[in-house]
């Protein structure tokens, strides 16, 4: 039975992990958090910068943004087999480096600034990191990235402000998955 791959993207704090895990559990798909995958890594890799622990799928550390830099090629290699099988919900705050053919639907979650601000603050973000993420949402950076990387017809923005939004999104995506399975099997 063929199953679709779902990309969930958006600014940090919009609710990707919350939606992604619940969706995977309800739909019987597997959930992959790209940030966690990179952190856990696979195997030993030569020539890593000293700041990276062996095995992590990083190629450096961004001092300005205070976060590791993903080794995108290795992340793709790592995921290729699973993605070609289908049935994966992928969660990441970026989307322009994945192969376009991987995804059957791309969901961009959106959150109002004041709510996002509170969520990121309670995650411990302050100063430039907090401001940059709020700006990222204001400028709809991830939505622009998604529509320039995938066919417009498969990219959908979903509001992610309240628990009611979460439930509505889950219902809609479940319906979409059921229809996809009917059409493709």
Phi/psi at 59 (nearest 5 deg)?
Answer: -120, 10
| Residue of 109, 101, 102 lying closest to 88 (CA atoms) | 102
**Position 3 contacts ligand ADP (CB under 6 A):** no
**Position 110 contacts ligand ADP (CB under 6 A):** no
Distance CA(96)–CA(109), nearest Å, equals 16
**Position 141 contacts ligand ADP (CB under 6 A):** no
Helix axes 141-149, 127-138, angle to 10 degrees: 50
Distance CA(66)–CA(69), nearest Å, equals 10
**Position 133 contacts ligand ADP (CB under 6 A):** no
Q: With contacts defined by CB under 6 A, how many residues of the chain interact with ligand ADP?
A: 15
Q: Of 40-48, 74-82, 97-105, 163-171, which part binds ligand ADP (CB under 6 A)?
A: 163-171
Report CA 45 to chain centroid distance, whole Å.
Answer: 25
Of 4, 5, 6, 16, the one binding ligand ADP (CB under 6 A) is 16
**Position 166 contacts ligand ADP (CB under 6 A):** yes
Site residues, ligand ADP (CB under 6 A) = 10, 12-18, 119, 160-163, 165-166
């Amino acid at each position: 039975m063929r199953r679709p791959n779902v990309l969930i993207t958006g600014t940090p704090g919009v609710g990707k992990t919350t939606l992604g895990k619940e969706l995977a559990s309800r739909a019987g798909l597997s959930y992959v958090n790209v940030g966690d995958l990179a952190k856990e890594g696979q195997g030993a890799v030569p020539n890593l910068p000293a700041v990276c622990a062996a095995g992590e799928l990083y190629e450096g550390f961004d001092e300005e943004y205070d976060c590791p830099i993903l080794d995108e090629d290795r992340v793709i290699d790592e995921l290729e087999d699973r993605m070609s099988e289908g049935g994966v919900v992928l969660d990441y705050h970026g989307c322009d480096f994945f192969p376009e053919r991987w995804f059957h639907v791309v969901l961009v979650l959106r959150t109002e600034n004041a709510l996002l601000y509170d969520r990121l603050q309670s995650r411990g973000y302050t100063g430039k990191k907090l401001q940059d993420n709020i700006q990222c949402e204001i400028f709809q950076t991830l939505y622009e990235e998604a529509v320039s990387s995938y066919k417009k017809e498969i990219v959908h923005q979903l509001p992610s402000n309240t628990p009611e939004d979460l439930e509505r999104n889950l219902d809609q995506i479940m319906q979409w998955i059921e229809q996809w399975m009917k059409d493709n099997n």
